[in-house]
Amino acid sequence: MTQYHSIKLKPVSQVMGAYVGDTSPETFNGKLPPALASELKSDFARALAEHQLLIFQNLHLSEGELLSFANLFGKPVPYPFVPGIPAFPLIVPILKEPQDTNNFGGVWHSDTPYLPSPAAAALLHAKKIPQHGGDTLFSNMYMAWEALSPSMKRTLQPLSAIFHSDKEAIAKTRASSTLDPKRNLIAEHPVVRRHPITGKPSLYISEAHTTQFSTMTAADSEPILEELFAHIRRPEFCYRLKWQTNMLVVWDNQSTQHYPVNDYHGERRLMHRISLAGSKPIPYATDSNC
Ligand code: SIN
């Protein structure tokens, strides 16, 4: 396990995730000396790639502090479909009111795979949590890939898939907050991607956005995709995050998927979210072991 210079980690499960302790106030107000900031950035990048989910407890952050903190993980970028809060357009409110029925993003997904360079990671800061429920499930896509049969791996490894932003299942979860509901963004990416930091392969398809493999029709793709969508939900690959007010979570969007559970009707849940710029997914080379 990697040794970190500027942070202390406590793993929360064997699947993924670690609590991060010992963060000083300067970490959030942008006043860290440059050498310390650079050490922290490098530790955070490695810790996120290794543990996939970093959990900070009890952080009372203003919007400015949240944005400043996000800069230690990468470059904050706008989310294509939901406007940010007026004074901080890069901070997107994820809100479910007591009268709402849908929850934002309530289908298994990784973020923005319909972009040429999908988000590398995202931060979510819990502002208002329901009394019961409102957990988020995270699934480990390294494990999902590893657990596939050798013949399924051989089938999938050379393939790429098509991702749509307006696949019905996901589009309806953002209907009330969407900037431009008719806009459909489309991208093609490798089905098995190599993580830019760990070098490890992970499965990259999602129920929310993948419509077909690029060399097959949608009809021919469907049975394989349905099998994979069920596979990624297997409890063995999942960590269930129970939120607390002022908890802040950062997930590696390159090796995980998530599913916010919609089980708190009649209550309010408000999160502040920041997406971080990513790079074009790298295919996992065909000469690698599988
Ligand atoms: C999202 O998909 O970004 C929302 C996650 C959550 O609300 O827990």
Q: For ligand 1, say whether the CB of 173 is within 6 Å of any of its atoms.
A: no
Q: Could you give the C-alpha distances from 64 to 71, 201, 239, in angstroms and in order? A: 11, 35, 30
Q: How far is the CA of 273 from the centre of ligand 1 (A)?
A: 8
Q: How far apart are CA 241 and CA 176, in angstroms?
A: 25
Q: How far apart are CA 54 and CA 205, in angstroms?
A: 23
Task: Name every residue whose Cβ is closer than 8 Å to that of residue 235 and which is 6 or more positions away in sequence.
Answer: none
- pLDDT for res 177: 56
What is the pTM assigned to this prediction?
A: 0.93
Any bridge partners for residue 186, and if so which?
164
- pLDDT for res 189: 98
Q: How far is the CA of 289 from the centre of ligand 1 (A)?
A: 34
- Pocket probe for ligand 1: among 81, 91, 94, the residue whose CB has the most ligand atoms within 8 Å is 94
Which ligand 1 atom minimizes the distance to the CA of 241? 8
Q: For ligand 1, say whether the CB of 94 is within 6 Å of any of its atoms.
A: yes
Q: For ligand 1, say whether the CB of 106 is within 6 Å of any of its atoms.
A: no
Protein residue with its CA nearest to atom 6 in ligand 1: 260
Write out the chain's pLDDT in tens, 290 residues: 677 888 999 999 999 999 998 677 677 777 788 888 899 999 999 999 999 999 999 999 999 999 999 999 999 999 988 899 999 999 999 999 999 999 998 999 999 999 999 999 999 999 999 999 999 999 999 999 999 999 999 999 999 999 999 887 777 676 555 656 667 899 999 999 999 999 999 999 999 999 999 999 999 999 999 999 999 999 999 999 999 999 999 999 999 999 999 999 999 999 999 999 999 999 997 554 44
Q: 3-state DSSP call for residue 142?
A: helix
